[in-house]
Amino acid sequence: MSLGITPTIGPYLLPLVLPAVRKNYPDFRLRIIEEQLKVLVQKVKNGELDIIISALSYNVRGLLAFEFWEEDFYWLAHRDDILTKQKEIFSADFKQVRIMLLKEGYCLNDHALAVCQLPSSVTDLLLASTSLNTLVKMVAGRVGTTLVPAMAFG
């Protein structure tokens, strides 16, 4: 079986499930490709992949899609950030901070923009990254804030 998985899910979900798959199905042969969802969808349509695991924000017309996981986002900020003093944070508050997200083309970016109620054409992002790890490290370095899925704290 060939599996495509997005980089925002792969490093967190695969270590949770692959050991059990190997233990319970030792003869199962699995080939995994990590790539942006747009590329993975095309590979499925071309017959190069059997299945994809990703967030459901992309048009997958012509393919079957099943929801099997739901999780929360966490706002990640350095303790000195202005919004950490507030008991509640609203979408309008995100306009006061320097937000960093994954670059365009990553479905997590779309989800984060929707949560913050920011336009998809945001061009004043402090950083558009290709890695959640980069975003987390930048927050630790007091560069800005970000939103990350709960599984990133696994």
Can you give the pLDDT at residue 28? 96
- Give the pLDDT band (50/70/90) at residue 21: very high
Give which of 124, 123, 119, 150 is closest to 12, Cα–Cα: 150
With 90 as the cut, is the pLDDT of residue 25 above it? yes
**What is the rounded average pLDDT for all residues in the chain?**
82
Cα gap 29→24, rounded to integer Å: 12
pTM for the model stands at 0.70
Determine, yes or no, domain membership for 113: yes
Q: How much is the pLDDT for 4?
A: 96
Q: CATH number for the domain including 42?
A: 3.40.190.10
Closest of 28, 57, 18 to residue 41, by C-alpha: 57
- Give, in order, the Cα–Cα distances in Å from 1 to each of 29, 78, 123: 6, 42, 39
- The parent domain of residue 144 ranges over 73-153
Of 105 and 4, the one with more pLDDT = 4
Domain match, 49 and 80 both: no
Are residues 78 and 148 both part of a single domain?
A: yes
- Phi/psi class of residue 36: alpha, beta or left (left: φ > 0; alpha: ψ in -120 to 50)? beta
Let me know whether 105 and 148 are in one domain: yes
